[in-house]
Homo-oligomer: A and B are copies of this chain.
Amino acid sequence: MAQTPSIPKGTRDFLPAETARRNYIFDTIREVFHRYGFQQVETPAMENLSTLLGKYGDEGDKLLFRILNSGDFLAGVPGDQLATRDSAAVVRSVADKGLRYDLTVPFARFIVQHRNDLVFPFRRYQIQPVWRADRPQKGRYREFYQCDCDMIGSDSLLNEAELVGIIDEVFRRLGLRTVVKINNRKVLAGIAEVIGQPQRITDITVAIDKMEKIGLEKVREELAEKGIPVEALARLEPLLMLSGDTGSKLLQLREILADSPAGMKGIAELETLFGYLEGFGLQTATELDLTLARGLHYYTGAIFEVKSLDEQIGSICGGGRYDDLAGIFGMPGVSGVGVSFGAERIYDVLTRLDLFPPHTGETTQLFFVNFGPREEAYILPVLARARQSGLRAEIYPDHDKMKKQLNYAHRKGIPWVALAGESEMAEGKVTLKNMVTGDQTLVTPEELIKIVGGAGINSEL
């Protein structure tokens, strides 16, 4: 078997350095979720296809990974189906289960199935991989993680505000400068209503989006080409010309949408939300963005999107309010609001901006060189004490050449190396070497532990 083994296309192995960086992102997000009272749940990788099918559109159905039924899977296939080799028909008889496509549909199923065991309003988070049989390409994988947090069973806009607080805290901890763009589905509905084009929300938001780039004239032309009547265009113009900060935009909107109850409700929601946010003293910029139109087929209130200020990349976090999460599974009227952090993109941004800390909480802090049996016997109790005092420490297991051992420590990124030969042992000490500065000092085991422990894994470099 001379051929090098490989993995399915679109999937990835994660080596130690990469895994540690991914964990740094996940742990940061997890810790903020905990800080805000969210509880983790997990669902199985496989769901019944009856749970998944029809929830992501025809295109989504095609992208589901299906699990072949075990055993004699052909036994249940009607003979004529097999004869016609109709894969689309046969697939229904040979696969009952599929891999999770996102975290939302399994969570909706979860809510319904466990409704009696959950404490509402329910603050849940979930960090698990999902699988899509998408065409693999740069930055798009067939297996990737989603990090979702949602508040279920409460209409309070304080929930929306807390989510923005979470976004602020996560990206502040990661050292990423971001802007949170906020919109409201009801406002979009109001706009469509007042210009008499309720079905054209998407075209209108695209037009608003293009205003800055191509100007009013061009936008008018494009909309006319798309068949928006001249009268509607005229009514739309004040919206295209909205200016000022969020507060003044909301004031202008109040006039424009005065005749739309839905629109006015959306404005009131935005005012409440921005009111909360003002009190929060966030470090992240927030702004009203009427062009934000993600998830229009399920969001019913707030819509969020987070962009990096320093790197051109799509949204790195997004979400919104939905009024009927679990309706498809027979439990209507469950309102919720949530956001999803795009861990893969956040990884890419942090890499490009060189924002990962040089060491994470997983890096070995202290490495002991192993000269031979006698030195090893001298070192092992020191190693044990270092570990007991909380240090991440290891000893080289073999008696290889010092150069090889130091190379090991260097490649593993270990910041401190300790060694003890004849003279150190005679004095009851060890030589401690700082791998970054190259400085060496002769210290007692107590001093060793104090120096390495006090250095802090991230601050000493």
A215 at the interface (CB under 8 A from B): no
Majority secondary structure, A binding face: mixed
Is B91 a contact of A85 with CB atoms below 8 Å?
A: no
- Residues of B contacting A36 in the complex (Cβ-Cβ under 8 angstroms): 387, 392, 394
- Residues of B contacting A367 in the complex (Cβ-Cβ under 8 angstroms): 37
**A330-B4 contact given A15-B41, A95-B68, CB 8 Å threshold:** yes
A72 at the interface (CB under 8 A from B): yes
Is A35 a contact of B1 with CB atoms below 8 Å?
A: no
- Residues of B contacting A391 in the complex (Cβ-Cβ under 8 angstroms): 35
Cβ contact of A143, chosen from B13, B45, B70, B158, cutoff 8 A: B45
Cβ contact of A110, chosen from B13, B44, B411, cutoff 8 A: B13
Closest Cβ–Cβ distance, residue A123 to chain B (whole Å): 7
- Residues of B contacting A426 in the complex (Cβ-Cβ under 8 angstroms): none
Against B, the Cβ 8 Å flags (1 = close, 0 = not) of A50-93 are: 11000000000010011110111111010000110111001100
Closest Cβ–Cβ distance, residue A139 to chain B (whole Å): 17
A239 at the interface (CB under 8 A from B): no
A248 at the interface (CB under 8 A from B): no
- Residues of B contacting A133 in the complex (Cβ-Cβ under 8 angstroms): 70
Against B, the Cβ 8 Å flags (1 = close, 0 = not) of A391-403 are: 1111111100000
- Residues of B contacting A6 in the complex (Cβ-Cβ under 8 angstroms): 48, 113
**How far is it, in angstroms, between the C-alpha of A35 and the C-alpha of B376 when the chains are bound?**
19
**A19-B7 contact given A73-B87, A87-B74, A329-B1, CB 8 Å threshold:** no
**How far is it, in angstroms, between the C-alpha of A443 and the C-alpha of B353 when the chains are bound?**
45
- Residues of B contacting A23 in the complex (Cβ-Cβ under 8 angstroms): 40
Q: How many copies of this chain does one complex carry?
A: 2
Is B119 a contact of A411 with CB atoms below 8 Å?
A: yes
Is A42 a contact of B14 with CB atoms below 8 Å?
A: yes
**How far is it, in angstroms, between the C-alpha of A98 and the C-alpha of B68 when the chains are bound?**
9
Is B91 a contact of A68 with CB atoms below 8 Å?
A: yes
- Residues of B contacting A181 in the complex (Cβ-Cβ under 8 angstroms): none
**A381-B43 contact given A8-B97, A91-B73, A119-B408, CB 8 Å threshold:** no
Against B, the Cβ 8 Å flags (1 = close, 0 = not) of A114-125 are: 100111110110
The segment from A149-157, A415-423, A432-440 found at the interface with B is A149-157
Name A67's closest neighbour in chain B (CB-CB): B65
Cβ contact of A121, chosen from B110, B113, B117, B398, cutoff 8 A: B398
- Residues of B contacting A123 in the complex (Cβ-Cβ under 8 angstroms): 394
Is B46 a contact of A72 with CB atoms below 8 Å?
A: no
A250 at the interface (CB under 8 A from B): no
A340 at the interface (CB under 8 A from B): no
- Residues of B contacting A216 in the complex (Cβ-Cβ under 8 angstroms): none
Name A366's closest neighbour in chain B (CB-CB): B37
- Residues of B contacting A86 in the complex (Cβ-Cβ under 8 angstroms): 74
**How far is it, in angstroms, between the C-alpha of A123 and the C-alpha of B408 when the chains are bound?**
12
Is B8 a contact of A46 with CB atoms below 8 Å?
A: yes
**A47-B329 contact given A67-B68, A387-B35, CB 8 Å threshold:** no
Is A397 a contact of B46 with CB atoms below 8 Å?
A: no
Against B, the Cβ 8 Å flags (1 = close, 0 = not) of A300-338 are: 000000000000000000000000000011100000000
- Residues of B contacting A376 in the complex (Cβ-Cβ under 8 angstroms): 158
**9 A-B pairs with C-beta separation under 8 A:** A1-B330, A6-B48, A7-B43, A15-B41, A36-B392, A68-B68, A68-B91, A72-B87, A121-B397
